Structure 1
């Protein structure tokens, strides 16, 4: 009989007990609370802005890898501009692979397009001077008045269309109302990512030619 073997203690393997990290009953997610809030904002859209979302922005950067993974599961791509302090999602180009489209989109009217172009230009000018882009509703209507002939409507009708387009930009947070003002808005930095400098130049050329064609048009009565 080997006394040493009889005296050896029995060592059981150490099994780590899973910690309860759920945020609610039945929670099987793995992301922490702040990362989930950032993910929800990205999916709700249109963007996370460092200025408007002071708590979500650092959470986004801290959990960037995990958030990219979650979005890729949904065929979405995370776009971040750290310098501008803005991030948003867009559909991934999957080539011929058939995939569902989760992001909602709305068709742009002619006025919507020229308004977006104008706002993008205002954003570029503001950033060149190191400050945020702020616009006034009355000034937007006046700036777009050069396209009035292109939509074939009277002055009142044109102003109504521009106001409707401005409303669409507000609903999609391209324009965010400033506190204490009913007609002043900040232009979302996300436009910088949606429209590159090359896109702006190309669109500006098209719309400039359109304006020039309208100005050269001879009235029907020959006057």
Structure 2
């Protein structure tokens, strides 16, 4: 069973293939063929108006769920310097560019018409599973706690994540092996989304700074409500206190922008 709150992927097969490979699909610019980066004509018949680095950053924005100064430093720097032109190119595709400069994260989302008309779309909605929802909420909680303690980077153990998901198993659940497999698949899915930094076989991961802007309070509320409906019961007794911490906004940080 999946939750009602969705995340977005690219429809086009070529772009989607890159997205599915996660952070590792974006090539380092050192591996790309040498080009005259001062020229906007990069191949025969090229009528594009962007320089090489701008195009690479645009492709990264299209292929990845998000880019950040941590995961895509060169693309992030290009975006900071040329935000307007990259925003314009995304707008041509009915996409909006969202930028959180405090956390140094940027992502795209589907544009919505002021008149309610539907735009053609490159994105489709893919619902987070119940287990992925639990992982995301836990990561947001751990990230906020670590940053509040002064940690520049926040890490989490695989077993800690799995134990958290396990704590939400309904009392009537009997498929222990199946539940464990779904929990492990959820961790792998969040790694693929780029919100956990590390290899699937690792025992410890860094939590991406993108978790908070991509999971703002209103989306978190929807996820938790959908989780309760999917679970068919209230979480464990300790959950309300944990949720209170999740919904308490730090005084020294701006309200995150909405992302779906």
Please give the range of the TM-score, normalised by the shorter of the 2 chains.
Answer: 0.7 to 0.9
CA distance 1:103–1:198, change in 2 (3 Å): closer
Match for residue 41 of structure 1? 60
Match for residue 181 of structure 2? 160
Bigger radius of gyration among the two:
1
Match of 2:73 among 44, 54, 57: 54
Partner Cα separation in structure 2 for residue 199 and residue 20 of structure 1: 42
Give the CA deviation at 1:154. Answer: 3.1
Match of 1:120 among 140, 147, 159: 140
Match of 1:22 among 41, 51, 54: 41
CA distance 1:70–1:154, change in 2 (3 Å): same
SS at match of 2:126: coil
SS at match of 1:149: coil
Query: Any stretches of 5+ residues in structure 2 without a counterpart?
Result: 1-37, 238-260
Give the CA deviation at 1:202. Answer: 6.4
Match for residue 102 of structure 1? 122
Aligned-pair Cα RMSD in Å: 2.7
CA contact (8 A) 1:175 1:185 kept: yes
Query: Any stretches of 5+ residues in structure 1 without a counterpart?
Result: 1-18, 214-223
State which drifts further: 22-31 or 145-154.
145-154
Give the CA deviation at 1:189. Answer: 1.9
Partner Cα separation in structure 1 for residue 168 and residue 148 of structure 2: 26
| Higher RCO structure (Cα 8 Å, ≥6 apart) | 2
CA contact (8 A) 2:103 2:209 kept: yes
Partner Cα separation in structure 1 for residue 220 and residue 109 of structure 2: 20
Partner Cα separation in structure 1 for residue 71 and residue 183 of structure 2: 26
CA distance 1:32–1:153, change in 2 (3 Å): farther
Q: TM-score of the superposition, structure 1-length normalised?
A: 0.77
Q: TM-score of the superposition, structure 2-length normalised?
A: 0.67
Give the CA deviation at 1:157. Answer: 2.1
Partner Cα separation in structure 1 for residue 85 and residue 69 of structure 2: 19
Partner Cα separation in structure 2 for residue 205 and residue 109 of structure 1: 13
Match of 1:83 among 99, 102, 105: 102
Partner Cα separation in structure 1 for residue 178 and residue 64 of structure 2: 31
User: Number of paired residues?
Assistant: 194
Q: Residue deviations 1:95-137, cap 9 Å, x none?
A: 5212122124322221121211111112222222342221111
Partner Cα separation in structure 2 for residue 77 and residue 88 of structure 1: 8
